[in-house]
Copies of this chain bind each other. A is one copy, B any other.
Amino acid sequence: MNEFEVIARISGRLGERPREVVVPIGDDCAVVRLGEKDWVIAADMLVYGHHFKKWASPEDVGYKAVAVNASDVAAMGALPRFVLASGGGREAETTLRCMEGVLEACEEFGIYPLGGDTTSADALTVDVSILGELEETPVLRSGARVGDVLAVTGELGASAAGFLALEDGRRSPERLVRKHLRPEPRVAAGRLAARLGVHAMIDLSDGLASDVRHICERSGVGCRLDIGSLPVSEDVREFVRSLGKDPEVLAATGGEDYELLISAPEHLVDALDTESDVPVTVIGEVVEEGVTFLRNGEYAEELSGWDHFRRS
């Protein structure tokens, strides 16, 4: 299914934009001005069999639903504040355990739950809506400029590697499995990036090769990315190679990293790397047009035909 088409079709049918709406549907979050302050708002749904399988506990699912929403808020440079959580499974116990995961994540990220709806469903499903508070101008996908560098927080590929392990029936490598089940939204780094005034930001959910296109399309620019420079940790490389796969291609396409992709002048990225609690790595640059993937300076054949619509 192609959710971008759905969003486009919806956007084409929206009525007049109320005065409170600063940023409508189409970015990581919408932005509404309520009172004297801007708030970001978004939702993400996880469904058994589509977003997770029996390797995820109900607690993991509830936790992750909050974490991925917090990541959308982080990508606007905002602070996650409130959530609503709806959902449930076949048994009341499953629903309860999922909501316990929601609460655990709320405690972890300092979010207050305002309610939601518990229900029965044959397939465990959870939808979280989030409200985040903005203290700076929101960082949109549309601000990238030629001359910016592209950088990512943390590391890439660990979650996708954990997913491969889980799909293979393993619970290890533990660190990678945990990266997939309990992602860490980059809230502090996102707020710092907004404060520093970076030009554009998005969280990496579909995967770098897909998400970077959102920035380019929205900003009317292109980019050159070198997958040889992606921050891929040694345990990821080792495990992915043991499966006969290419760690750098996985890091570029695997998705669910929930790291931030940032477009900014190099000195701002340097400042962010210095001040942030997570490393920030330059992985490419913004150019006039075209999305080009290199590997250590050479054209990366493996990614030339890669298109996020293929995933639909």
Contact = CB atoms under 8 A, between A and B. Distances in A.
Interface of A: 1-3, 5-7, 9-10, 13-15, 17-18, 20-21, 24-26, 29-30, 32, 34-37, 39, 41-45, 47, 49-51, 81-82, 84-88, 91-92, 95-96, 99, 103, 106-107, 112-123, 125, 127, 129, 131
A267 B118 CA distance: 38
A226 to B, nearest CB: 32
Contacts of A43: 84-86, 115-117, 127, 129
A87 B24 contact: no
Contact of A115 (B1, B20, B42, B49): B42
A32 to B, nearest CB: 7
10 contacts: A3-B118, A14-B103, A15-B112, A20-B81, A41-B82, A42-B115, A45-B86, A45-B119, A47-B119, A121-B125
Chain copies in the assembled complex: 2
Nearest to A24: B114
Nearest to A41: B114
Given A1-B92, A35-B36, A51-B119, A44 B86 contact: yes
B35 A127 contact: no
Nearest to A103: B13
A45 B87 contact: yes
A113 B1 contact: no
B2 A92 contact: yes
